[in-house]
Chain A
């Protein structure tokens, strides 16, 4: 039996989250097949063949997979799942949307957001906003699993897996994507960045966020993040949000500026290799997890920090 990994892609390229999911799948110890379902997706399929450790790439090219709606993709995955012992996907918004649907159709449990593979049927996953780690064992025939990308390295490129076309499942016609509004940014993607500069309510407004944090992020080649307070106050769009309900990140360096460090925010960043906190409140909980803490007014020290670097 083999592991089926659902690739996340935009018909042209493969999202790096898929590479993390492949690494997690390797820990199961079986052949890995990657499914690329899309429309006009030959470039993405080609990119998938280069992922190291992959035995085969299944390509399903049909018009009704153009926007990869959960309903249609789940229908396809369900049809393929009979030949697999495991179905893996990255725990991104797309993976979280689609995979539970597959699991329910197969009448199996889904295991969300795993951070470790102990054996082919036993996985570790965080619960209670990362305040506890549960080790769970599945007795189901097919293990349907989403993978926390920050917990696994990306699989190396340089493979040459063969491609195989698979027939499309029927178009259910339940959902239609009518528009996408993507945040444009020259900076690294939040989920994959080595350094993240993140701002909270302490910045006061969106203009301060931009004038203070953008130059610092540019100097460091960092991605920009935010706490929920900063998003709710309208400083930045919501896809900047780091936390239990936003993105889970684990960069080399996480610089938290004007962020108090609520449980829900820590859930999204406390596995960062190094945490730096700048906050004027010495009692802020963020200092309990920060490797380096600077108690100071961010309006004074952030420009100084940018200038010094």
Chain B
């Protein structure tokens, strides 16, 4: 079976972002970019399924600016077989990405799409669910364990009270939670090999998708700052502060 893995290029998770002074957005010029951590987990899972003989081909897809090629190469260094870049300079919101992925799914006919559960920049947590809806496929979100059988996926999901196991028909969309696996480091030989793997580029217009944003961002602001606290010397002083100053216990 074929697995499609969408990957997103985002500001590296260790970077503390700064809001632009004019309130139009977050300053990402000259900031380190990486693959979204949840997507790395998705690629790793797909590659493990291939290594286990369950999957036959892993296709990595990214939508965005030309530099997203690097993200696709990173996915290929982990073990994806080929890549597709949907190149666009426009701001791509989850619904637009889901429509682009739908167009690719119609063409590529994957059995499973494995997405990250959310991108750590927009924190939307929408794209996988939207893709499943557009395809009319079942969805297994926030997966911490995935087993693919004949026409059926058994997925353990992380829910608020604990865990839930679902059986979904295939084809299906799975979104990954952090505990699904630990992504491997790409080795230098694999990074070199990834440079030779095929990478196709298409435009949203080639796929017949209108990517115009539906939500207008009016402004982006810094969250309110917390005022500096105090250091207490010992437990007695801490308890005193909690009881008499903050009056919380």
Q: Which positions 246-300 of chain A face chain B at CB distance < 8 Å? A: 247, 252-253, 263-264, 270, 273-276, 287-296
B242 touches A113 (CB 8 A): no
Contact status of A134 and B217, CB under 8 A, knowing A71-B139, A244-B123, A274-B246: yes
A293 touches B129 (CB 8 A): no
Instruction: Report Cα–Cα, A309/B166, bound state, in Å.
Output: 44
Per-position binary interface string of chain A over residues 166-188, scored 1 when its CB falls under 8 Å from any chain B CB and 0 otherwise: 00000011111111111100000
A140: Cβ under 8 A from any B Cβ: yes
A69: Cβ under 8 A from any B Cβ: yes
A96 touches B125 (CB 8 A): yes
Question: Residues of A contacting B120 with CB < 8 Å?
Answer: 128-129, 244
Q: Which positions 165-187 of chain B face chain A at CB distance < 8 Å? A: 165-169, 172, 177-179
Q: What is B's interface to A at a CB cutoff of 8 Å? A: 11, 13-14, 16-17, 19, 26, 93-95, 98, 117-118, 120-127, 129-134, 137-142, 144, 154, 157-169, 172, 177-179, 214-223, 226, 228-232, 234-236, 238-239, 241-242, 246, 248-249
B226 touches A270 (CB 8 A): yes
Instruction: Report Cα–Cα, A220/B242, bound state, in Å.
Output: 12
| Nearest neighbor of A180 in chain B, beta-carbon distance | B164
Question: Residues of A contacting B222 with CB < 8 Å?
Answer: 132-133
A304: Cβ under 8 A from any B Cβ: yes
A101: Cβ under 8 A from any B Cβ: yes
A275 touches B158 (CB 8 A): no
B141 touches A128 (CB 8 A): no
A85: Cβ under 8 A from any B Cβ: no
Instruction: Report Cα–Cα, A242/B192, bound state, in Å.
Output: 39
Smallest beta-carbon distance B200→chain A, Å: 25
A129 in complex: contacting residue of B123, B137, B144, CB < 8 Å: B123
| Nearest neighbor of A109 in chain B, beta-carbon distance | B214
A100 touches B125 (CB 8 A): yes
| Nearest neighbor of B28 in chain A, beta-carbon distance | A128
B141 touches A136 (CB 8 A): no
A175 touches B214 (CB 8 A): no
- The A-B contact count (CB < 8 A) is 250
Q: Which positions 148-181 of chain A face chain B at CB distance < 8 Å? A: 172-181
A211: Cβ under 8 A from any B Cβ: no
B26 touches A132 (CB 8 A): yes
A294 touches B231 (CB 8 A): yes
Instruction: Report Cα–Cα, A288/B16, bound state, in Å.
Output: 14
Question: Residues of A contacting B218 with CB < 8 Å?
Answer: 122, 135-137
Question: Residues of B contacting A231 with CB < 8 Å?
Answer: 179
B248 in complex: contacting residue of A98, A135, A253, A287, CB < 8 Å: A253
Question: Residues of B contacting A130 with CB < 8 Å?
Answer: 223
A198: Cβ under 8 A from any B Cβ: no
B142 touches A97 (CB 8 A): yes
Contact status of A139 and B214, CB under 8 A, knowing A104-B98, A180-B164: yes
B238 touches A175 (CB 8 A): no
B164 touches A97 (CB 8 A): no
Name the prevailing secondary structure of the B interface residues.
mixed
Instruction: Report Cα–Cα, A192/B122, bound state, in Å.
Output: 25
Given contacts A98-B129, A138-B214, A174-B138, 9 further A-B contacts (CB under 8 A): A100-B94, A105-B134, A110-B126, A111-B215, A131-B19, A134-B217, A178-B166, A231-B179, A295-B231
Instruction: Report Cα–Cα, A287/B229, bound state, in Å.
Output: 8
11 contacts across the A-B interface (CB closer than 8 A): A97-B142, A104-B133, A104-B134, A109-B215, A110-B124, A128-B26, A136-B216, A138-B214, A175-B167, A181-B162, A238-B179
Instruction: Report Cα–Cα, A99/B94, bound state, in Å.
Output: 13
Instruction: Report Cα–Cα, A98/B132, bound state, in Å.
Output: 11
Instruction: Report Cα–Cα, A185/B223, bound state, in Å.
Output: 34
A220 touches B249 (CB 8 A): yes
A109 touches B94 (CB 8 A): yes
Question: Residues of A contacting B226 with CB < 8 Å?
Answer: 270, 275, 289, 291
B138 touches A113 (CB 8 A): no
Q: Which positions 83-115 of chain A face chain B at CB distance < 8 Å? A: 92-94, 96-105, 107-113
Instruction: Report Cα–Cα, A131/B122, bound state, in Å.
Output: 11
4 tightest Cβ-Cβ pairs between the two chains A and B? A174-B138, A104-B130, A100-B129, A109-B214
A245 in complex: contacting residue of B139, B166, B178, CB < 8 Å: B178
Question: Residues of B contacting A207 with CB < 8 Å?
Answer: none
Question: Residues of B contacting A134 with CB < 8 Å?
Answer: 217, 219-220
A232 touches B215 (CB 8 A): no
Smallest beta-carbon distance A78→chain B, Å: 9
Instruction: Report Cα–Cα, A107/B17, bound state, in Å.
Output: 31
B168 touches A175 (CB 8 A): yes
Smallest beta-carbon distance A242→chain B, Å: 13
Instruction: Report Cα–Cα, A252/B127, bound state, in Å.
Output: 34
A292 touches B138 (CB 8 A): no
Question: Residues of B contacting A301 with CB < 8 Å?
Answer: 234-235
Instruction: Report Cα–Cα, A283/B165, bound state, in Å.
Output: 42
Question: Residues of B contacting A140 with CB < 8 Å?
Answer: 214
